[in-house]
Structure 1
Amino acid sequence: MDQILSGPTAFALHRIPPQYRALLPSVPFIGAPACWRTVLKESLFRTLIQPPLYCLRQARSACSGAKNLKDQLWLGDLPFGAIENYGSDLQVTSPLMTLLTLARIPHVSDVRLLMAMYELCGTFSLFAPTEELCAALETARSAGARFFEEWRPVKKADGRPSGLWSRRPLVAIEELSSFANEVRTYRCGARFARCAKLVTGICASPFEVQATMLLSLPPKLGGQGFKGLENNKEIKLTSDARLLSGRVRCCYGDLFFENTTSGRPLDIECQSGLVHDRYESFISDSDRMAALQTMGIEVLPLTYDQLFNPEKYHAVCAHIAHLLGTKPPVLDARMHQMETNLRYRLFTSWNTPF
């Protein structure tokens, strides 16, 4: 049990698509003196994982104190399913346990922890393979290797890779809630539970997470505090809507508000520059908007620039508040600072280490 990678290291591993994960070299006993140097000298490992390596230890005597190792001490029994095998000679904390070990790191803010929860509960992952990794993968394929490739790369409009991958959620929302209740009495369990309670649903991209957190978090945390937001809400189409949309039975609203004072549900659609793949239920934006409007649903396209630019963002928020039949929150000086901090973390932290 001494080779358990945790925290930011485990999170980075959970981001890696299976075909690249299979390229990881054999890892020696990293708890032994100086063996971490061998790990970090492995070229492929170094391109995937950056030091320091976070390791879960279940005894004080197992802590190494090495410069490029960060020991996370866990005394007592581990939650059920907390550890997963990662290859033949390595173990990592499960996605849920990884989130809990992140919650135990003081410099990981609540916002960054919440972003991590949204990513592992979402249908996306961020991973940009290096040229060395791409070459190693092609070499392995040429040699006859077969890989489990359920994760799909999302490409830019010009066909180039975006660094965004589409996959099934690694953590179900129900599992997150149940785990939060289970570990509430553990060290930092209350913090974990507090953040888990703020997760509104399954997001398909960082853009959707940014919009969700900015619009749904309470003003004291930097958000607008709009209540009732649902992510990727399934909308069953009427016969007329199916006709307009190409006979698709349903579609999904990115950020959906069912209850408004006008009685018209609001669907906010995140219009990113990437292909917004909805798998079998994809509809062109114009046909989709027309179909939903025949059902009495208000559709509001939201661009990244409208979210990123503070002035445009506040104008959009005022319009959303009008559509919901409410008013934007009145922010005091502290709330303004919290909004600034939230926006900074959301727009700068996705690809930076913890």
Structure 2
Amino acid sequence: MGLVLTDISAIEAYRRDPVLGQRPSVALPFGKMRGLNLVRPRAAELREFDQRGYVSFSRPVHVLVPHRDMRMAANDVRWHVWSGSLPKSGAGFRRDAQDVFLASPELALLHYASHADLADAIVLAFELCGTYRLGGLLGFEKADPLTSAKRLNWFASGVQGARGAKRLRRIADRALDGSASPMETALAMLLSLPGTLGGYGLPSPRLNARIDVSSKNGLNQSKRYYVADLYWPEARFAVEYDSDRWHVGPERIGQDAARRNALLFQGVNVVTVCSQQIMSESKMDDVARIAARALGRSVRPRAREWRKRNRELRRAVLPHRVDGSGGCW
């Protein structure tokens, strides 16, 4: 008896409890034991799913089984069958409750990628590779990364031929590690995705990259390094996102100014972007042009119907809600 959740259902469990991703993996011998009672769902378990604390999960619920004959008729359940072996990266399952297990983030994303819009799946990959999880009172909260772009690539290579594997490889190639918020994800995706996906086609930045500050630069400062939201080291260019929520008040404004001054003194050109610029189509175009000039590039998307694709991308990456103060994340 037991349930193994995958796809968005597993992701929602990881979001509900950010510590889950750090728990030791559990080995479930998928594909090796035809009578694997440990992951053979029962109708009563599916009926009691809501009462067991999963009432807020989206529908359908995605359940993983090792054999087709383990599926059963059930409302609001989507079955995923996995009868083969899994690569070492992404092979482990996590125990959410006594008899509820979660597919690894890599396997869950593979199943999500098999049916989701590509941009939505890349957004999710940024979250899984980042230091935040959606949910909570503020819309997102800090959390340790669940995976990395490299691990997603390894996993995709290890399951070649599986449904969604090719798409997962495309997602892994576009995902970046280290995003700290949904708006940082949106900014990075808009700037770096190719024109065919509605992005501005600029080189991929490093996210939340450490920039060391020389102690011999003559400035009166206590910090020896700063962290840039988006950073292109070859061009010594950084883009900083000023959140409506966090970058307010005299003390924080002063800290931000000191950081920008120190980086400028180090030869790092810094551009600050706020949520109003990202949310505005025309102002975001201007941000892209400024970044392109700093990187020695030009923004001339050649994809047909680029503006239409850009708007579709914006719908996928930009938040659909604001915080209690009326501002974005």
Which residue identity does 1:272 align to in structure 2?
S
Aligned counterpart, 2:84: 76
**1:241–1:113 Cα change, 3 Å:** farther
**Displacement of 1:75:** 2.8
Structure 2 counterpart of 1:302, from 251, 261, 273: 273
Match of 1:97 in 2: 107
CA distance in structure 2 between the partners assigned to 1:50 and 1:68 by the alignment: 9
AA aligned to 1:291 is A
Identity within the alignment, %: 25
State whether structure 2 residue 88 is matched by structure 1 residue 112: no
Shift of 1:16: 1.6
Distance 1:318 1:6 in 2: 40
Residues 149, 177 of structure 2: 8 Å contact kept: yes
- Distance between the aligned counterparts of 1:267 and 1:303, measured in 2? 14
* Unmatched 5+ stretches in structure 2: 22-37, 248-252, 323-329
Which of 234, 247, 259 pairs up with 1:288? 259
Deviation, 1:331, is 4.1
- Asked if structure 2 preserves the Cα contact closer than 8 Å seen for 1:7 and 1:98, the reply is yes
Matched residue, 1:318: 289
Determine the C-alpha separation between the residues in 2 that align with 1:89 and 1:167: 25
- Whether 2:177 is the aligned partner of 1:169: answer no
Deviates more, 1:320-329 or 1:8-17: 320-329
Which residue of the partner structure matches residue 7 of structure 2?
7
- Match runs of 1:1-354 below 5 Å: 3-17=3-17, 31-42=41-52, 44-47=53-56, 49-80=57-88, 81-104=91-114, 106=115, 108-128=116-136, 161-239=137-215, 243-244=219-220, 246-260=221-235, 265-275=236-246, 284-348=255-319
Note if contact 1:202-1:231 (Cα within 8 Å) is conserved in structure 2: yes
**Which residue identity is paired with 2:291?**
I
C-alpha displacement at 1:325, in angstroms? 2.1
Distance 1:19 1:211, change over 3 A: closer
Amino acid at match of 2:11: F
* Alpha-carbon spacing, 1:332–1:70, altered in 2? closer, same or farther (3 Å): closer
Structure 1 gaps of 5+ residues are 22-27, 129-160, 277-281
The 1-side partners of 2:167 and 2:117 are apart by 10
Q: TM-score, normalised by structure 2?
A: 0.83
What TM-score, normalized to structure 1?
A: 0.77
Shift of 1:193: 0.7
- Matched length: 299
RMSD, aligned α-carbons: 2.7
Letter in 2 for 1:305: Q
Tell me the distance in 2 between the aligned counterparts of 1:36 and 1:340: 39
Q: Is the 8 A contact 2:209 2:227 kept in 1?
A: yes
